[in-house]
Structure 1
Amino acid sequence: MLDFDALWDYNQPEETEQKFISLLMQAEDSGNIGYLAELLTQIARSQGLQAKCRIAHETLDRAERLLKEDLVVARIRYFLERGRVFNSSSRSMDAIPLFLNAWELGIQSSEDYYAVDAAHMLGIVESTPEKRMEWNLKALDYAEKSPKASHWLGSLYNNIGWAQVENGKLEEALELFKRALEFRKVQGTPNSVFIAKWSVAKVLRLMGQVDESIAIQMELLAETEQTSEPDGYVYEEVAECLLLLNRSEEAQQYFSFCYDRLILDNFLATKDPERIVRIKELAGRSV
């Protein structure tokens, strides 16, 4: 049977969903219930990433009906994806017990990869910064000890880094983002390397090292202009740096570029509307 996990493109969930759906008939005919149940959980994940939460829950209902006690990995993945869909629909309190189930079953069955996945999700959805940090550190400990879970190190360095930013511990955050960058370079995933560089540069700006920060952001901007659409978040950081350097006219131009792109980001507009308003004002657009 085809390794459907190799088909994942998290930046293209709609295309990924269609690839997974194309395997459904073969999976159903195979008689391999565990494979079919796991495939359905990943179809649901791709649907959740498209904000198709109702459909994702229906897909997970179908997977749930297939689950048996001995299908350990399928059960863990079901808990993970049901939790992720709840989290995507702003129901984090419903997600927490599901991630706890995935964590416990993963530890019991030595499925370290999925156990760390669950712990890292708990590090995102828990209700307080202290609980989130506790789970992130627990996940990091397992990931550093288990070769099966080492894939998660980049994400954990990143998540813990942002938690440290939230706590005002910028030097600790910078060190974690640098570790994430080195890990991503070894992994060889260009988009993850890009994000890690951006994170390093942002923290440098927050630490007052503006010249170093803008140099990195301008490198990233050159990359995107050559290979894809320019990134709104890079434009935002360039603009913020220029503002701190008292280059207000240039900053306004970059805030304008930023606004044109981030206004299309529904997630940001919903999560942080005040940020969009600020960008719009600094861009000199009518409010």
Structure 2
Amino acid sequence: MPRPQRELDPNSLVGHFGAELRTHRNKANLSMAQLAAALGCSAQWIGQVELAEKPPSELFALDLDTYFETGGSFHRLWKVIKRAGRSQVLLPGFPAYIELESQAVLIRSFVTQLVPGLLQTEDYARAVISAWPDPAPVEERVATRMEQQAILRAETPPYAWFVLDEAVLHRPFGGADVMREQLKLLAGLVTSPYVQVRILPFASMTYAGLDGKFTLLRLGDGTEILYQEGPGFSQLIEDPGTVGDCAARFDLVMGEALPRAASHQMLLRTLENLK
């Protein structure tokens, strides 16, 4: 006996995906079992997706587009669902930042406490995210951070310049083994033509880094955008005066930082002394 169809939340993207699936299946005069056999999955899975009891997977969305020849509409809807899910677990404003970051031709970032997200290993990212007293899913945030790093592996990646306060090297999130792999990754970037990692030593006394971390994005049209985070918030700033002030501050901390080769040597010494 077929299960009664329950009324779906009209604002549910997963529910909309399920409704689209049911519409295409019925239009093709297919039972759940017939479609399941064609796609190599179970009829139960299809029923759960149609009733919004399970979110669709990316592979399932792609298979549906191929089978029903829908020109990518199921996959596009899956991507909307994924973005919406991220917005529920990320800081307000951060999804917008990720979108702009993917369009940047130059990224300049000064960080004081942690290795920046674009340069984190997966284990380091997990240790950092797990340290927050936050109920949001850790693995969802880790996955977002790892996907965010894809811009540095693009065919033509942005130039990315990072100035790390020396304290970052001595804060062992995840323990010695995790930190060891993280430092190896940072040290290995010395040969990258696009990424620079400079260390701001403890001996530096410049005022420019006293107010904490910030990131500057330069887009292809020359637009400069400032991104800042604080406890429970993040913000994008386009005011030319504020952006210009932070650009000047970045130049100052870059000037106070160790040269690239000396920064590399400090990373190696820290790695050797890690217990």
Structure-1-length-normalised TM-score:
0.28
More strand by share: 2
Higher share of residues assigned helix: 1
Instruction: Point out the structure with max Rg over C-alpha.
Output: 2
TM-score, normalising length from structure 2? 0.29
